[in-house]
Amino acid sequence: MEPSIYVRALLVASGVLLAWMVGPGRGHAEETSTEEVVKTEEVVVSATKTEIPVKQVTSAVEIITGEQLQQRRVKTVAEALRLAQGLAVFQSGGPGTLVDVRMRGGTPEQTLVLIDGAIVNSATLGSYDFAHLTTDNIERIEILRGSQSMLWGSDAMGGVINITTKRGRDTPNIAGFFEYGSFNTLREGANLTGKKGPVDFALSLSRWHSASFSAINYRRGATERDGYHNWQGSARLGVALPKEGRLEFDFRWMNGIVNLDGFAFNFATFQSDPADVLGAKSESKQYILAGNFTQSISSWWSQKLTLSRATDNLVSRSGTVDRNLVTGVAGVPFPLNSEIDTTSNRIEWQHNFQLGKPLLLTAGYQFREQQGENIDLITNMTTIANKIISSNAGFAEAQLNLWDRLFGTAGIRQDEYNVFGSATTYRVTGGYLHQETGTKLRGSYGTGFRAPTINQLFFPDFGNPNLQPEKSQGLDVAVDQTLFNDRVVLSVGYFWTRYRNLILAVSDPVACGFTLFGFCAQNIGLSRATGVEASAKFKLVRDQPWIKSLDLQFQYTYTDAQNLTNSPETQLPKWPLNQWSTILSYQPIEPLRVNLEGRFVGQRFNDTLNEESLPQFYVWNISATYDVNKRIQVYTRADNLFNEKYEEVLFFGTPIRSIFGGVRMNFDMPL
C-alpha cells in the first residue's frame, strides 16, 4: 500500500527533526560510510566460490561496490553494468523495459545471474531481465567473464554476474531518501542497517514512479508516454555462530509495472513497422529467497549450505489500439495477453579442505530445478503446462598457492539433466605475481554449456524435445600491473571463445514438420568471439588545496563476434566492435564529490544478416553529492548531458537530457 503524500511529508519532517536531535557527534556522513571499514573490493568470491585476494585471482573479474554506486547516484544495476568491461547492455525503451546483458560475444541466455546465491535466470526464456533491479541495499556486484560452467553450471557460458545484498555492521542506523526529477520521476525509500551482538541486519524499502517517455523512439513519431512504477524491498538477516559459523537469510521483492509499445503489420510490405500502442503493459512480481549456513568443522575443513528460490509472475497485455508509425494507420494489436509463472530452486552443499598452506580443495553437490507455465489470458487456456527442468551436479576444484607468487586452479564438473542427459565441463587457470614490480601474468581455459529452456523444448509449434545443450570453449590471457603503491592499476588481455550447438529458430519443413509459425528450434548455430579488454585506474591527486582526491578510470573492449552459421560470415547482432567507458571522480573538499561518466558504443547490427545498422553514440552523465552535515546529504545527477540522439535497440527510445535531485538523511539508533 502506498502512503498518502501527507503521511510521506510527516515522515520526512519527523526524520529531519530526529536527525538534528541526534547531534553532529553521533551521526554518519551517509548510509555508505560504515562500509569503509570493510574493504570488500579486496577479495573475490565468484572466481573460486571461496574468498581470495584480488591479487591472487587468475580469472577475468571486475567488482563494483555499493559505495561506488551510492557516490555516483546510480539508480539501477543495469546503469552500473553499462560501464563495465566486456559487456553489451542495451534497453528497449525507458525505465522498466527489457534490458539485455551480453558478455564476450554471447547472448543474454548465456550469462548466469545470481542474487544472494539464488539463480534468477528465467526458466522459460533463459535470460535475466535487469529492468526492475535497483541498486537499493546492494553491497557489491562481481562480474566474472569467460566460460564458467565448471563452478556454476548451465547458463555460465559467457560468464557470471553475482549480486550481493548489504550486510549490517556497526551501530544500528536508519536512513531515508527523497528524489524528484525529469519525466515527473519520484523516488523515495528507507533502510535500516546495523549489528547488535551476534545478529546483523539490513532492510530496505523503496518506490519509483515515472511518467517516463515513449518506449518507441518519439523521434519516429510516437507520442504516448509509457509510464513506469517500481516497488522494491530487501532484507538480509545474519547470526554469528560459534567456531566461525554463520546463519543467514536473504529476501528481495520486486514489483514493476511498465507501459509498452510494439510493432504493427504492414500489409503493403509484409513487414512489421514500429507502432505507438495504447494500453499495452506488463507487470512483473519477483520474489527471491535464500538461506546460507557456513560452519568450520575443523581447522582445515569448512562447509557451506545454500538453499534458494526465485519466482517470477509476468502478466503481459497487448493493448487496445496501435498506430503504425510508417503508414499512420490505426488498428487493433494482435491479442497476446499472457501470464507466465516461473520458479527456480537451487540447493548446493560445498566443502572446503585446506591441505597445508599451498593447497585448497573444494568439492560440492548442486541440485537445480526450473519450473515454468504459460497461460493465455484471452482463452484462459494453458499454452505450456507446468514443465520442469532439473539437474544434479557434482564439482571439484583444486586451488594452488605457492609462496604468494604462483597461483593456479583446476576443476571438473558433471551435470545430469532430466531432459537431455549429461554435460561435462572443466576449467584450468594459472597466474604468476612478481611482487617486487607488481606485475601479474594470468590465463585461463574453460568449457561451458547451456541447457535448452522450457520454451525451446515445449512451446507449441516451436519447441523441440530433442534439443541438446549449447556448448562453449574459451581462453583468455592478460597482464595486470600496479604502480606507485597501487595508485596506478593497469590491465590488458586477450580472449577467444567459440560457441557451438547454438539453438536457433529454423524454417525446415522436414525437421520441424507442420508448424503454425513455419519454424522450430534446432541445434545448428555456430559463432566465435575474439577481442581485447583493457582498463586503467589512476589515483591522480590526494590531499592538495581544492583537490581532496581526483581519480580516473577507463575501460576499453574490442569484440569481434562472428556468426559462423551464415555464409559469408556476419557480425553477431547487438555486438559493437568497439566500446569504452570512463569515470572521473573529483572531490575538491571533504563534503563535496563530483563524478563525470562517459560511454561510447560503436556501430553494430540489429539483425543476423547485418542489414539493419545502428550508428555509434556517446553519452555523458554527471553527478554531485554534498554532505550538509553528518546527517544530511543533498545530491543531483544529469543523464545524457549533451542531449545525444541515439538508439540502443533499433526503433526504441532513449532519454533526452534528464536532471534529478534529492536529499538523503540518516542517524544512529543506539540500542
Q: Are the CB atoms for 346 and 368 separated by under 8 Å?
A: yes
- Break the chain down into helix, strand, coil percent, rounded to 5: 10, 60, 30
Contacts of 15 by beta carbon, 8 Å cutoff, 6+ apart: 176, 665, 667
Distance between CA atoms of residues 647 and 657, nearest Å: 14
Q: Are the CB atoms for 210 and 95 separated by under 8 Å?
A: yes
**Could you report the per-residue pLDDT of 136-189, keeping only the tens digit for each?**
999 999 999 999 999 999 999 999 999 999 999 888 999 999 999 999 999 999
Please provide residue 541's backbone torsions phi and psi, each rounded to the nearest 5 degrees: -140, 145
What are residue 669's DSSP bridge partners? none
Tell me which of 3.40.50.150, 2.40.70.10, 3.40.1280.10, 2.40.170.20 is the CATH number of domain 5-668.
2.40.170.20
Distance between CA atoms of residues 432 and 58, nearest Å: 9
pLDDT over 90 for what percent of the chain?
80
Q: Are the CB atoms for 585 and 71 separated by under 8 Å?
A: yes
- Among 79-83, 233-237, 271-275, 377-381, where is mean pLDDT lowest? 377-381
529 SS3 class: strand
Q: Are the CB atoms for 154 and 368 separated by under 8 Å?
A: yes
Peptide bond between residue 568 and the one before it cis (omega within 30 degrees of 0)? yes
| Sequence ranges of the domains in the chain | 5-668
Q: Which three cell numbers stand for residue 163?
A: 549480486
**Could you report the per-residue pLDDT of 281-311, keeping only the tens digit for each?**
999 999 999 999 999 999 899 999 999 999 9
Contacts of 549 by beta carbon, 8 Å cutoff, 6+ apart: 539, 541, 542, 543, 585, 586, 587
Q: How far is CA 163 from CA 112, 138, 524, 593, in A?
A: 11, 7, 33, 26
Q: Supply the pLDDT for residue 514.
A: 63
Cβ neighbour number for residue 260 with a 10 Å cutoff: 21
pLDDT band at 9 (very low <50, low <70, confident <90, very high): very low
Distance between CA atoms of residues 258 and 198, nearest Å: 41
**Could you report the per-residue pLDDT of 225-236, keeping only the tens digit for each?**
999 999 999 999
SS3 string, 47-87, reads: CCCCCEEHHHCCCEEEEEEHHHHHHCCCCEHHHHHHCCCCE
Q: Which three cell numbers stand for residue 103?
A: 558478455
pLDDT over 70 for what percent of the chain?
92
In degrees to the nearest 10, what's the CA dihedral of 452, 453, 459, 462? Answer: -40
Q: How far is CA 317 from CA 217, 334, 338, 438, 460, in A?
A: 20, 10, 7, 56, 20
**Could you report the per-residue pLDDT of 383-400, keeping only the tens digit for each?**
888 899 999 999 999 999
Per-residue pLDDT, averaged over 9-36, amounts to 36
Q: Which three cell numbers stand for residue 591?
A: 563534503
Q: How far is CA 210 from CA 161, 318, 635, 658, in A?
A: 28, 21, 19, 12
Q: Supply the pLDDT for residue 25.
A: 36
Distance between CA atoms of residues 117 and 541, nearest Å: 38
Residue 294 CA, distance from chain mean position? 26
Q: Supply the pLDDT for residue 78.
A: 96
**Could you report the per-residue pLDDT of 430-487, keeping only the tens digit for each?**
999 999 999 999 999 999 999 999 999 998 888 889 999 999 999 999 999 999 999 9
**Could you report the per-residue pLDDT of 348-387, keeping only the tens digit for each?**
999 999 998 899 999 999 999 999 999 888 888 888 888 9
Distance between CA atoms of residues 414 and 67, nearest Å: 38
Please provide residue 227's backbone torsions phi and psi, each rounded to the nearest 5 degrees: -70, 165
**Could you report the per-residue pLDDT of 312-325, keeping only the tens digit for each?**
999 999 999 999 99
Q: Supply the pLDDT for residue 21.
A: 30
Q: Are the CB atoms for 538 and 550 separated by under 8 Å?
A: no
Distance between CA atoms of residues 167 and 174, nearest Å: 14
516 vs 428 pLDDT, higher one:
428
pLDDT band at 515 (very low <50, low <70, confident <90, very high): low
Query: To the nearest whole number, what is the mean pLDDT of the chain?
Result: 90
pLDDT band at 29 (very low <50, low <70, confident <90, very high): very low
Q: Are the CB atoms for 433 and 407 separated by under 8 Å?
A: yes
509 SS3 class: helix
Q: Supply the pLDDT for residue 670.
A: 73
pLDDT band at 335 (very low <50, low <70, confident <90, very high): confident
Scan for cell 527456480, then name that residue: 344
Cβ neighbour number for residue 209 with a 10 Å cutoff: 19
For strand 173-181 and strand 159-165, is the pairing parallel, antiparallel, or unpaired?
unpaired
**Could you report the per-residue pLDDT of 540-586, keeping only the tens digit for each?**
999 999 999 999 999 999 999 999 998 888 999 999 999 999 999 99
Q: Supply the pLDDT for residue 671.
A: 67
For strand 159-165 and strand 111-115, is the pairing parallel, antiparallel, or unpaired?
parallel
Helical segments of 513-636, H only: none
**Could you report the per-residue pLDDT of 174-215, keeping only the tens digit for each?**
999 999 999 999 999 999 999 999 999 999 999 999 999 999
Contacts of 227 by beta carbon, 8 Å cutoff, 6+ apart: 209, 210, 211, 212, 258, 259
